[in-house]
Amino acid sequence: MELDASNRTFPPFSLKRLLQTSFGPGQGERVCILIDLPDPKSIKDFAFRDDPSLAIQNYGYEVFYKGLQDGGLEEMNYTGGEIFAYREVGGSNLDLDDDCYDPEGREFSLERDIYPNYQLVLVVSTYSATAPLTAQAKRFGFRGATLHGLNQVILDTGLSVDYKQVSADAEKLRRGLTRADHFELDFECEGQKTTLKLLCNGQEAQKSHGLCPPGTPDVANLPAGEVYFVPEGAEGKFPFKYGEETVGLLDVEGGKVVRSTLIYGDYERIREHNERLVDDPMVGAIGELGFGTQVLPFSGRDIQDEKILGTVHVATGRSDHLGGTLTPDLFKQRRNASHDDVLYAPHKTPEVRLPEVRMVRGGESTVILQNYKPADYLIGLLENDRAAAQP
C-alpha cells in the first residue's frame, strides 16, 4: 500500500463532484453558504474581500458562492445559492450567535430565516461549526457540511478525492477497530515517557467519511476520513503543545484533564490553563479519540491533517455532535463549551514522539500505530479487503 502522499496524484477540484458525491444528485434542494466574520456586517457589498486576513472566507465566496452562482445551481439541480455572514465565535464548535447578514446589509435570524428554509447549509469558517450545526440539522431537518480552515492545499487534495473510496476505506478501518475495550497511547517528550489510556468499553466505532445522503439530517465535516470514539473514561498523562515554545504535561483522572505541568516554555500558559480547569472542570473532559484514514499531504490545518493515516487526535470538551453526552449545559459557561482537537502528527508536534498506539480488545493487545505510521494491522485491513475485491 502506498503511504507517501507526495507520490499521489489528485484530480482538479470540482465543486460539482464534491457536492454530488457527498449529498447525492441535486433534487431541487435550496442551498446557502455561511461564513464567519469578525464583523458580520462587513459582508455588505462584499467589503470583507479587501481584507487579506480573511482568506478562508474568500474561498467561501470564490469557490462556493461564485461556483454556485456562475451556473452551478442549474447544473447541479439546486436552488438558492445565497451567502450570509455570522459573527466569529472565537473558539472551536462554540454555539453561533443567531443574527446574520447578507450582501445587501439586511439582518436575518439563523433559527428563523436560515435553518428552516434551506435543505443544504455549507459553512466555510475560521472556527469549526460542526457541533452547533449538527445540533441544528437534527432540529430543523437539513443537511450540511462544515469546511473550516480552508486553504489551497485542502482544495487541491482533501476536497478533490473520491469520497466513495474514502468512505469505503474508513469503513474497513472502523470494522477493524470497533468494540475495543480501550486504547493506549504512548508518548515521549523531552525524555519523559507517558501513556494515556482511553476507555471505550466495547462501543461501536464511528466514522467521518464525507457522505451525507438524502433522507437523514446530518452534517459532513470536510475534508473527512477518520474513525473515532467517544471515550467513556480516561487515565494517564499526555503532552500538550500550547504554542511553538511551550509544552506541558497533562494529568488525566476520571476522564478529565485535571492539571498541567510545565515541560518547557512559558509558565504563564500553564497557570492560565490550570485556572480554567479549576474554574470549570468540564473544560478538561475528554470528548473524542480519533484516527485518520486517508493518505493526504499535510496542509497545516487540523481539519485535513487529523484525517491523515498515521495521525491520532484527542479532543476535550463537548461531544454531543459525536453521539456523546457532553452538552453545553454541563459547562459553567457556554463559552467554555468548545470541542478542541489535540492533534499528534509529525509536522504539528515534532517535539512529541508517538512510539506506539495499541488497541486492547477481548484481552488481546494489537499495535495499530508506530511512530506516526500505520502498523501492519491497519495496513492489512486495507490491503486484504482490496485484494479480495480483485477479480
The Cα 279–Cα 13 span in angstroms is: 46
What pLDDT score does 243 carry? 87
Q: Could you please report the per-residue DSSP string of 243-288?
A: ETTEEEEEEEETTEEEEEEEEES-HHHHHHHHHHHHH-GGGGBEEE
Q: In angstroms, how far is CA 189 from the centroid of its own chain?
A: 25
- Asked whether 161 and 310 are in contact (CB, 8 A), the reply is no
Amino acid at position 69, single letter:
Q
Q: What is the spatial distance between Cα 21 and Cα 267, in angstroms, rounded to a whole number?
A: 48
The residue ranges of the chain whose pLDDT is under 50 are 386-391
Q: Chain centroid to CA 370: how far?
A: 23
Between vectors from CA 82 to CA 77 and to CA 85, what angle results, nearest 5°? 145
- Concatenating the DSSP letter of every residue in 327-355 gives -GGGSSSGGG--EEEEEE-TTT-TT-EEE
The answer to whether 299 touches 157, Cβ cutoff 8 Å, is yes
The pLDDT assigned to 187 comes to: 98
Looking at the whole model, is its pTM more than 0.85?
yes
pLDDT, one tens digit per residue, over 26-45 is: 999 999 999 999 999 999 99
Residues 6+ apart with CB under 8 A from 250: 237, 238, 239, 240, 257, 259, 260, 284
